[in-house]
Amino acid sequence: MYVDMNDKVLFRNESYNLIGAAMAVHSELGCGFTEPIYQEAFEKELLWRHIPFEREKTFKVYYKGAELSKRFVPDFFCYGKIIVELKAVSDLIGEHHSQVYNYLKASGVNLGLLINFGKTSLDYKRIPCTTKFVGE
């Protein structure tokens, strides 16, 4: 887990709220649905909890200072500072971590949450921009 210079977890309360919302969804639906089902349920849970978010916010990508025509679109952008990417897979793998990490680098956002609904227990990872994942 990332700790900043003041020995405080980066966006602790916001992360706690988002993970709590994901736990509520997983508790209600369990595992076995496709990702779009969890995305819709997570969106409803965020609304009910009054958590600010943008669903599928579009971010620009630059290559050597030149803007690319292609964009990236994470599942959720919450509190104006946390990217949330949802999965419904049997296991999170290095490519999932790399996807979120690259989203962070491209957007300048400092924290991403990778949340997996595909197991019997909710699986989530906090990914700060200062950490590079090479595999699992």
The CATH architecture to which 12-128 belongs is: Alpha-Beta Complex (3.90)
* pLDDT tens over the chain, length 136 residues: 444 444 467 899 999 999 999 999 999 999 999 999 999 999 999 999 999 999 999 999 888 989 999 999 999 999 999 999 999 999 999 999 999 999 999 898 999 999 999 999 999 999 998 744 444 3
Q: pTM for the whole thing?
A: 0.86
Rg of the chain taking only CA atoms, in angstroms = 15
Cα separation, 62 vs 85, whole angstroms = 21
